[in-house]
Amino acid sequence: MRLMPKFLVTIGLTLTLCLSLITPACAAIFSFAGDRPSNLGITAGQLAPCPATPNCVSSQATDAHRIAPLAYTGDGAAAIAKVKAAIVASPGSKIITEAENYVYAEFSSGLMGFVDDVEFYRDDAAGVIQVRSASRLGESDLGVNAKRIEAIRSAM
C-alpha cells in the first residue's frame, strides 16, 4: 500500500475539519471570491454586457446569455423593494449598493466562497427591472445565476 504525500494528508484533514466545523477561518481558507468588477453599474441605460463565458445571464443580452427581465405592475419603487427583500432573504447575499432605481448585491456560495455579482436596474422606460448575474471566477456556473434570477422572480 502506497502512502499519500504528507501535504495531501494535511489538506485532507484540514478540509475534513473545516467541513465538520464550517468556521470563519475555514471559509477564509477555501474562499474563491475574486476581485469586484470595475464595470458594474448603469451606463446609458445599460448594465455591463456578459463576458464570453457561459457563467452570466442578462436581460439586456441578445445572445445565449439572455434571460427575461423582471416584470412588475404598479409602483416601480415597490418592485425594487420586493427585489431587495428577496435578496436579503437569500443565503449568502449582501447588498453592496442601492439607489432609487438600482441594486447591486454579492452572493457568496457556502462552501468554497465563490462570489457572483448581481445587478437590478429599474428601467422605467421599458416598465421592467433589468437584471444581470455573473460569476466572478471560472467558466461554468452550472446554471446557478439563471436559477437565482428565477427564484427572485418567483419571490416577487
Q: How does pLDDT run along the chain (156 residues), one tens digit per residue?
A: 455 455 443 444 444 444 444 444 444 455 677 889 999 999 999 999 999 999 999 999 999 999 999 999 889 999 999 999 999 999 999 999 999 999 999 999 887 889 999 999 999 999 999 999 999 988 888 999 999 999 999 998
| Same domain membership, residue 65 and residue 98 | yes
- DSSP strand pairing (93-99 vs 102-108): antiparallel
Full residue range of the structural domain in which residue 119 is found: 31-37+45-155
| Same domain membership, residue 70 and residue 108 | yes
| Same domain membership, residue 78 and residue 5 | no
Q: Are 80 and 122 in contact (CB under 8 A)?
A: yes
| Same domain membership, residue 4 and residue 65 | no
| Same domain membership, residue 131 and residue 60 | yes
User: Residue 46, class by beta-carbon neighbours within 10 Å (0-12 exposed, 13-18 middle, 19+ buried)?
Assistant: middle
CATH number for the domain harbouring residue 76: 3.30.310.80
| Entry pTM | 0.79
| Nearest alpha carbon to residue 114 among 133, 129, 96, 130 | 133
| Same domain membership, residue 94 and residue 56 | yes
| Same domain membership, residue 145 and residue 113 | yes
| Same domain membership, residue 66 and residue 117 | yes
Question: Into how many domains does the chain fold?
Answer: 2
